[in-house]
Amino acid sequence: MKILACNSNRPLAEAIAEYLTMSITNAVIRRFSDMEVFVEIHENVRGEDVFVIQSTCYPANDNLMELLVTLDALRRGSARRITAVIPYFGYARQDRKSSPRSPISAKLVANLITTAGADRVVTLDLHSGQIQGFFDIPLDNLYAAPVFTNDIRARYQGDDVMVVSPDVGGVVRARAIARRIDADLAIIDKRREKAGVSEVMNIIGDVRGRRCIMVDDIVDSAGTLCNAAEALMKAGAVSVAAFVTHGVLSGGAVARVTASPLEELVITDSIPATEAVKLAHNIRQVTIAPLMAESIQRISEERSVSSLFD
């Protein structure tokens, strides 16, 4: 088995390699003067089981192209099996036609990854489960739930906790966390009455006197998350925290979170933290390296991955 790291999330790749007591494969991934991607692998990969670690986060197109060119280099280098490990799968939010003549970009990206040479894909908390069906190769969709559950138990032991889904679409994810920590579940139903009027938050469940924990897969602009935190506090919650797998946090999201009633926002290192995230007083990052490393080890040894989440 070999671990190869592209450039998008080198610290996570190094942490995974350290957990597996391995060194990262010697490779050069650089740009020509016109920003064209060039990949050169300086180790023999013939007959090897190679895992390529690359999040397709910002800049999404550059990082996706790096992944595709690396997969092609490994395929042409006669690797036995190539697994694309994509902790954050970009373009996942474009998983259906949301309007006439719009693309299904998640399917396009799945086709590109398969054509480039991947034999298998490993990812974390896909935005929607049906994306697994876009791939004609095996895909392992891992869950951050065990990482979040351990952190919640360590920090909220003995507290009156209620898990909250910030929208109806995330109920399944929130319920899984609630079941693991034996907590109640509340749901926020948000709707916009008319264009130009702010969203109205309706809370399904009694949150008075409870420490609320919102659970979601992606936080981008953080607008919904912060509005939901305000609604929960107005409804009588003692405190509000959020556990979100992928911290995209684009634009003014970090400033929005720091100015919000959120006690803390906990994200994973599926996307590397920006300097603004590192300096924010109420944003904290937890690592998924042991979870990803254990999954990689099990795939290499042809053992069960799903048993990690039982």
DSSP state, residue 259: T
Summarised one tens digit per residue, pLDDT across range 220-229 is: 999 889 999 9
Using an 8 Å Cβ cutoff, are 190 and 202 in contact? Answer: yes
Q: Which of 84, 87, 93 has its CA nearest to residue 112?
A: 84
The one catalytic residue among 2, 97, 190, 194: 190
**Domain residue limits, the chain:** 2-142, 145-286
Q: Which of 246, 243, 249, 267 has its CA nearest to residue 176?
A: 243
| Bridge partners, 120 (sequence order) | 83
Distance between CA atoms of residues 109 and 158, nearest Å: 44
Say what the pLDDT of residue 193 is: 60
* 190 classed as catalytic: yes
Is 192 flagged in the annotation as binding? yes
- Residue 118 neighbours by CB under 8 Å, 6+ apart: 52, 71, 82, 83, 84, 137
Summarised one tens digit per residue, pLDDT across range 145-174 is: 999 999 999 999 888 999 999 888 889 999
Query: Domain 145-286, CATH 3.10.129.10 — does that match?
Result: no
Is 93 flagged in the annotation as binding? yes
Asked if pLDDT for residue 38 goes beyond 90, the answer is yes
Is 216 flagged in the annotation as binding? yes
Asked if pLDDT for residue 216 goes beyond 70, the answer is yes
Task: Pull the structure tokens for residue 243.
Answer: 């556990």
Say what the pLDDT of residue 196 is: 46
* pTM of the predicted structure, to 2 decimals: 0.93
Summarised one tens digit per residue, pLDDT across range 94-139 is: 999 988 999 999 999 999 999 999 999 999 999 988 899 999 999 9
Q: What is the mean pLDDT of the chain?
A: 93
Say what the pLDDT of residue 191 is: 72
Q: Which of 65, 85, 59 has its CA nearest to residue 2?
A: 85
CA diameter of the chain: 61
Say what the pLDDT of residue 129 is: 86
What percentage of the chain's residues is helix, strand, coil (to nearest 5)? Answer: 35, 25, 40
Edge to edge, the sheet with strand 283-286 lists 200-204, 184-191, 161-165, 211-219, 239-247, 264-268, 283-286
Share above pLDDT 90 across residues of the chain, in percent, rounded to a whole number = 89
Is 90 flagged in the annotation as binding? no
Residue 107, Cβ density class (10 Å: 0-12 exposed, 13-18 middle, ≥19 buried): middle
Say what the pLDDT of residue 170 is: 87
| Residue 192 binned pLDDT confidence (cut-offs 50, 70, 90) | low
For the segment 302-306, the average pLDDT, to the nearest whole number, is 94
Domain 2-142 and domain 145-286 have a common topology: yes
Is 36 flagged in the annotation as binding? yes
Say what the pLDDT of residue 6 is: 96
Query: Domain 2-142, CATH 3.40.50.720 — does that match?
Result: no
